[in-house]
Amino acid sequence: MASGIKKRSGSDYSDGRPGRINYHSEDEYRTITLTVQATAYDMHDIAHLRDSINELFDDELLLREMRIKDVTVEYESPGQRTGELQLEEPEYVNGKQIKVAMVNNSEIDDTTLASTFTIEFETTDLPYFESIYTTLELNDSGYSATAEKYGLVDNIDDEKAKYRFTESNFTVYNAGNVTVEPESMELVVQISKTSTPGTLSLRNLTTGEEFRLTKNLSERHISLRGMNILDGTVNAFRDSNRRLVSLVPGDNQFEITGATFSEVWFSFKYYYK
């Protein structure tokens, strides 16, 4: 079970004014609770099972949600055992995952072969679910509604699954409901075989953000990798305007000017609240 996102807000009070002034509100973390059933082979095996469970969850994990589609359960007939009931196999709910670490573990009952307990996790980096795939994978493999990794509820638009472009004006679609920010999220933009005698400009017309690189270039690969700006493998931050671009949910209209190039591609993950 996943909780909503806990918020961190900054506020203050003003004399002569009722209420408080809210300066900002930031997403902080969320909790994930798992109910686990463990069954030991015999009483001696309980101790080994307990230690293995503690070891399994004692690290950062990527969790995905699975559920049984059909929740209709037939009642037992006289003489029928519970183990004979057949339920559908659980399936992944979507193509999302979330990074967490254990913060609380209820005690495992070591006096019985079958034990049920709960484990509470908290997100370790971002408080968002993320797609298990990148947009470049989606572009190169092509979207398929039957592919397990592409969830039907991930908000993918099969008509906007293009993330490699050769034209100077193009649209990048962010299927998530969170703005992708290079300061804290996975975002790589590469402009391949770039040539310019002056200034390369990459503008997100939707947000008004602009990245500029003023440098004489001849068929160079220019990359924005998170906060890093690279000319090939060389740091080119000092030749830039020290600005990056983000991707808001939905369509992002882009324009490249001042240079020629062979291709520009965007690789990022979708993020969901």
- 151 exposed, middle or buried (CB, 10 Å; 0-12, 13-18, 19+)? buried
What's the mean per-residue pLDDT of the chain?
A: 87
pLDDT for 78 beyond 80: no
pLDDT for 23 beyond 80: no
Q: Quick one: average pLDDT of 13-23?
A: 59
Which pLDDT does position 243 carry in this prediction?
95
Q: In 15-133, where do the E strands start and end?
A: 21-29, 31-39, 61-63, 66-67, 91-92, 96-105, 114-123, 129-131
Identify whether the C-beta of residue 134 lies closer than 8 Å to the C-beta of residue 154.
no
Q: φ, ψ for residue 79 (rounded to 5)? A: 85, -5
Which pLDDT does position 202 carry in this prediction?
98
**pTM: predicted TM-score of the whole model, two decimal places:** 0.85
pLDDT for 113 beyond 60: yes
Domain residue extents for the chain: 6-123, 130-272
pLDDT for 83 beyond 70: no
Domain 6-123 belongs in CATH node 2.40.30: yes
Which pLDDT does position 233 carry in this prediction?
95
Q: Quick one: average pLDDT of 99-105?
A: 90
pLDDT digits (tens, 9 = 90+) for 196-233: 999 999 999 999 999 999 999 999 999 999 999 999 99
CATH of 130-272, one of 3.50.30.10, 2.60.120.860, 3.50.50.60, 3.40.50.1010: 2.60.120.860
HEC readout, 4-25: CCEEEEEEECCCCCCCCEEEEE
**What distance in Å separates the CA atoms of residue 170 and residue 163, rounded to the nearest whole number?**
9
The number of beta carbons lying within 10 Å of the beta carbon of residue 180 is: 23
pLDDT digits (tens, 9 = 90+) for 121-152: 999 999 999 999 999 999 999 988 777 788 87
